[in-house]
Chains A and B, each alone.
Chain A
Amino acid sequence: MKVLVTGIAGKLGRLTARKLIDAGHQVIGIDRRAWPDSPEGLELYQVDIRKRPAEDVFRTHRPDAAIHMATVTHLVHRSPDRMRVNLYGTRAFIHHCHNYGVKQAIFVGRHTYYGAAADSPLYHTEDEPPMSAHTFPELADLVAADLYAASALWRYPEIATCVLRMVYTLGPSKHGTLAAFLEGPTVPLIMGFDPLFHFMHEQDAAKAIVTALTHKLHGIFNVSGPTPVPLSTIVRAAGRRPLPIPAVLFKAGLGRLGLPNLPAGALDHLRYPIVVDSDAFRRATGYRHDYDERETINAFRTAD
């Protein structure tokens, strides 16, 4: 199958591309960033998904399937460009899929869609509305992109559209929201709170995307690996030292004194859990993760 992947030079994009090539697919990549040692057989176009040249890639190659990973998820990235990349990029992706006969489209989204709050239940199901947009405006573009991508389900019923809401990834690449948070030897936590964190090995995440493709999934699916683990336990298992800081000081010191440069809304993610129910995905595909919670953290830690 001919598969086009946007955002292919990102961590998850690279892992997914390799798995697709290994499975015998022809892979075409789009990314603004370069991928110097990209695998043989991969056709890479260094273009912006929102610009004309990206459309040309769809037009010339006419892929059977397309996977959209070109979203900016780093919370520290707060430029107005972020909103445009995430929303206009998703719109361009869906339009091109429709106009150039793509039969299957996968949008790779985040489980943070559901938001973290004191009264939110553990194990969110796909039908729950996003509750984070008002407390965490910095995430609003990702929530909107997720909902926009899902609108393709009724807008273009001829495309098998699939929205994946994936938990945090962790692994040897040391990239991603959770890995960035665990970067230093000391990890600041909010005193008196210790939320469950839902994460999976990055290889398992890439495997899940390929699984969604091979099963021609249609609909919205949460994707997770092992059961969640308390944040302080993750910090310790990763060989880091947890440093609980009272919430008031934490908020006042964001971006200074070695504290992460997070938006204030992100603090709720350090207080309350976001845990998803991925039964529907497992039932539809028979998906099983390969790495358990300890192996996943070890893979991250030993990559030092």
Chain B
Amino acid sequence: MLDNLLPVDPEIAARIEALDLEFNKFGVDPYGIDKHDLARFVSAFALLYRYYFKVDVYGLDNVPSRGRAVLVGNHSGGVAIDGAMVMGSMLLDAEPPRLPHAMLDKFIHHFPGASQFMSRTGQFTGNPDQAKRLLEAGRLILAFPEGARGTAKLAKDSDSLVEFGTGFMRLALETDSPIVPFGFVGGGEALPTIANLKRLGRLLGVPYVPITKWIFLIPKPTRFQLLYGRPMRFEGSGHEPDEVVHAMVDQVKERIRNLVGQGRALREGTISEEDLVL
């Protein structure tokens, strides 16, 4: 029950009904996703996704239309606009639509409102047990292995990659899930951060407070490029020593770096859609 004032777009309500989820008599799935709240929220979000921003999505077919998979990509742009756009592409562009479960930083569920909203839309604190259970139930997991280090990139570094965590890889190995790498370009333009206030962040209970070129945390209307690469499969149990897992993570990181590079070239018009190798 997020906000009864938000109108529901019938086309979007139909897309929510088409999700591969089991809703009970109250319209709630076993993980607390409320189809009414989701339809209301996605209806409002669709306006932002389609008109305020514009997302050029490539390689959507690389995301399995059913069953488990881990979407893994790069972070940029102060706050997780990239995550929201990935959600948008899966809910509004993919056929059939899918609802990814993002693995959130722990601080988010401490905030009133944010906690309620995330709970009703299936966005949980990144917890390996939770992620494993969701994958085993055939769900789609969205992971940004750079974590808060990734969103903290300043505008000038927005296409670079910082250190990747290995949790997503161990999870994929353990549940035998394909990894779909993606590259996202434009986050640094939408929210060009020039500084991150860490001390103020600590006071507020967040990792940092990003300061943009225009001070406020309001993204400007931006066209984004989102490129989904071919699924990658790795063999293993998930309990391999760190160096083995790091080598696998590096392969994914390389693919993401390549996708971000192609996205940047598309954005700058140096290549066209036909030149893409996803």
Contact = CB atoms under 8 A, between A and B. Distances in A.
- A and B interact physically: yes
| B: contact size bracket | 20 to 34
A193 B129 contact: no
26 contacts: A118-B125, A119-B109, A119-B127, A121-B129, A190-B112, A191-B112, A192-B112, A192-B114, A193-B112, A194-B1, A196-B119, A226-B24, A227-B24, A227-B29, A227-B30, A228-B32, A229-B24, A229-B26, A229-B28, A230-B1, A230-B28, A233-B26, A272-B109, A273-B32, A293-B24, A294-B25
- Which secondary structure characterizes the binding site on chain B? mixed
B216 interface: no
Interface residues of A, number: 30
Interface in B24-40: 24-26, 28-32, 34
- Which secondary structure characterizes the binding site on chain A? loop
A226 B114 CA distance: 26
A269 interface: no
A227 B113 contact: no
Given A192-B112, A233-B28, 9 more contacts: A118-B115, A121-B133, A193-B116, A227-B24, A228-B28, A230-B28, A233-B26, A237-B26, A272-B109
A232 interface: yes
A128 to B, nearest CB: 8
A195 interface: yes
Interface in A261-286: 271-273
B120 interface: yes
Contacts of A64: none
A118 B26 CA distance: 24
Interface in A108-155: 118-123
Interface of B: 1, 24-26, 28-32, 34, 106, 109-116, 119-120, 124-125, 127, 129-130, 133
A194 B119 contact: yes
Contacts of A190: 112
Interface in A210-254: 226-230, 232-233, 236-237, 246-247
A148 to B, nearest CB: 26
Given A121-B130, A230-B1, A192 B24 contact: no
B120 A194 contact: yes
A292 interface: yes
Closest 3 CB pairs of A and B: A192-B112, A121-B130, A118-B109
Contacts of B30: 227-228
A190 B109 CA distance: 13
